[in-house]
Every structure is written in structure tokens, then in C-alpha cells.
């Protein structure tokens, strides 16, 4: 290639300048300059080869990992699945350990499924806090939730988040028996449907 240092062609033009306009017709200098013609030609050659390599890799089975790779990862994921700390379902009597608990992960699943059943909202990161002060001994345990969501652009945010709050309260009560004291919904993102 006609490059006499790292950045300049034999004619003195920076190669990056020539490449920056490689999609345009050659200017008067480039029409006659063999260095610039070489540089333009080589870049087009590289672009063609890159496109061909992308196509080849996307189509050839040799460029996909064996299915066992994912299987092994998922086996480990299921072994290590983060259940989180257990949440008592019924507030225990003073001095006694909770006799019935639910994993934090199971409550998260209820939250995500409840949100997934609604259109226009996607539940993301969630926090679950046990509200010890609100407990009545022998009554259902009380939790507060923090739910980060993305909301579809153009829909009324107050309406959809209120709907989500009601839905979460109902689903958590019916599926786990837990009572929810407070549900903070944070809209962190908007998305296009």
C-alpha cells in the first residue's frame, strides 16, 4: 500500500481524509493520484470482505457454539439461583422463629408476572422490604415494595402505575397471602411500542 508513514499517503494526504470521503465520487486530485486511488480501492476491498465475513459467520453452523454450552450454564444457574432471604408469610409470635416462609425470588416472580399481564408497562428491578413494625402477631406478614418500571411512551403514566399498584397488591395477597403496606413505583424509562 502506498503509505509512507502511519497516517499520510505518498501524495501527502492523510489516509483518514481520503477514507472519510470514500463513499463519494473522487475529487479532482483523487481522479489522477495513484496513492489516493489505491487507498480508496483498498478500503472498498476491506468493506466488501467485511460484509462477506459477516454473512459467512451468520450463516455457517461452524460459527455457533454447541448447544451443550448453554445447557451447562443454565444447569449452574438453576443450582445457584438466588432465592434471597426468606420472608415469613405469617408474623411469628414474639420469640419464636417463623414457621412458614416464602423466598424473595418467589415474590419477585409474582411481581413480574403481574406486570407482564398488563400492556404498556415493564417491571424491572424490584425491592421487597419486610415491615416489622406493621406486623400483628399471628397476622399476615407485611411488606413494602419498590418497583422500577419502563412505561410505553404516550400512555398516561399516572393511570398505568396506579393500575399496576392495585394489581400487585391483589396478586401478592392472593398468591402469597402477604399484605402490602406501601408500593413505590419508579418510572425509570419510556419505550416505544
C-alpha grid cell for residue 15? 489516509
Asked if residues 105 and 84 have their Cβ atoms less than 8 Å apart, the reply is yes
The answer to whether 119 contacts other proteins (rule: CB under 8 A) is: yes
Count of residues of this chain found to bind other proteins when the rule CB under 8 A is applied: 63
Asked if residues 13 and 32 have their Cβ atoms less than 8 Å apart, the reply is no
Nearer to other proteins, 53 or 100 (CB): 53
What is the closest distance, in whole angstroms, from the C-beta atom of residue 87 to other proteins in the complex? 14
Write the burial class of residue 140 (CB in 10 Å: 0-12 exposed, 13-18 middle, 19+ buried).
middle
Q: Which residues are within 8 A (CB) of 145 and not within 5 positions of it... i.e. 6 or more apart?
A: 111, 126, 127, 128, 129, 168, 172, 180, 182, 183, 184
62 phi, psi to nearest 5 deg: -60, -20
Binding mask 38-77 for other proteins (x = CB under 8 A): xx-xxx-xx-xxx-xxxxxxxxxxxxxxx--xx-xxx-xx
Give the one residue of 148, 163, 165, 175 binding other proteins; rule: CB under 8 A.
148
Binding mask 150-169 for other proteins (x = CB under 8 A): x-------------------
Nearer to other proteins, 59 or 94 (CB): 59
Q: Where are the alpha helices (DSSP H) in 92-192?
A: 104-116, 157-176
What is the closest distance, in whole angstroms, from the C-beta atom of residue 107 to other proteins in the complex? 11
Rounded alpha-carbon distances, angstroms, from residue 22 to 17, 19, 30, 51: 9, 5, 10, 16
C-alpha grid cell for residue 22? 470514500
For the segment 72-101, give every residue that binds other proteins (CB under 8 A).
72-74, 76-78, 80-84
Nearer to other proteins, 31 or 75 (CB): 75
What is the closest distance, in whole angstroms, from the C-beta atom of residue 39 to other proteins in the complex? 7
| Tally: H helices and E strands in the chain | 6, 5
Nearer to other proteins, 57 or 93 (CB): 57
Interface positions with other proteins (CB under 8 A): 1, 3, 6, 15-16, 19, 38-39, 41-43, 45-46, 48-50, 52-66, 69-70, 72-74, 76-78, 80-84, 105, 108-109, 112-113, 115-119, 122-126, 148, 150, 189, 191
Amino acid at each position: 500500500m502506498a503509505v509512507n508513514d502511519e497516517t499520510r499517503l505518498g501524495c501527502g494526504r492523510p489516509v483518514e481524509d481520503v477514507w472519510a470521503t470514500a463513499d463519494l465520487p473522487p475529487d479532482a486530485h483523487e481522479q489522477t493520484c495513484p496513492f489516493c486511488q489505491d487507498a480508496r480501492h483498498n478500503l472498498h476491498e476491506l468493506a466488501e470482505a467485511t460484509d462477506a465475513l459477516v454473512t459467512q459467520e451468520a450463516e455457517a453452523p461452524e460459527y455457533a457454539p454447541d448447544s451443550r454450552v448453554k445447557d451447562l450454564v443454565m444447569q449452574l444457574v438453576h443450582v445457584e439461583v438466588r432465592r434471597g432471604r426468606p420472608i415469613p408469610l405469617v408474623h411469628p409470635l414474639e420469640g419464636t422463629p417463623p414457621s412458614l416462609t416464602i423466598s424473595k425470588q418467589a415474590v419477585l416472580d409474582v411481581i413480574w408476572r403481574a406486570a407482564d399481564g398488563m400492556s404498556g408497562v415493564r417491571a424491572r428491578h424490584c425491592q421487597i422490604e419486610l415491615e416489622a413494625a406493621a406486623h400483628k402477631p399471628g397476622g399476615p406478614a407485611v411488606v413494602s415494595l419498590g418497583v422500577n418500571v419502563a412505561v410505553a411512551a404516550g400512555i398516561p403514566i399516572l393511570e398505568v402505575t396506579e393500575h399496576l399498584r392495585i394489581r400487585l397488591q391483589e396478586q401478592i395477597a392472593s398468591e402469597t397471602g402477604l399484605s402490602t403496606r406501601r408500593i413505590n413505583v419508579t418510572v425509570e424509562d419510556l419505550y416505544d411500542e
